[in-house]
Amino acid sequence: MKYVKCHECGGDVEIWSDEDSGFCLDCNAEWAKPDKDVSCLDYCEYADTCREIIEAKKPVG
């Protein structure tokens, strides 16, 4: 089972490993399980910030 952040309320969404989607514990919004082959950068609202951090942490050279 994994938790993802609810995009609606920021709460925890429980998604069981054998399920394709789960429901937010707080607002009951349904969320599809992110494809494990897809980077979180593809759906995260903070992806742009993350990319900047990743770029900043890359070794120079």
Q: Applying CB under 5 A, which residues contact Zn ion?
A: 6, 8-9, 11, 24, 26-27, 29
* Bridge partners (DSSP) listed for residue 29: none
- Provide the minimum distance between the beta carbon of 54 and Zn ion in the complex, in angstroms, as a whole number: 27
Closer residue to Zn ion (CB): 27 or 54:
27
- Provide the pairing of β-strand 30-32 with 12-15: unpaired
Residue 15 or 24 having the CB closest to Zn ion:
24
CB-count exposure of residue 33 (10 Å: 0-12, 13-18, 19+)? middle
Minimum distance between the CB of residue 40 and Zn ion, rounded to whole angstroms?
A: 18
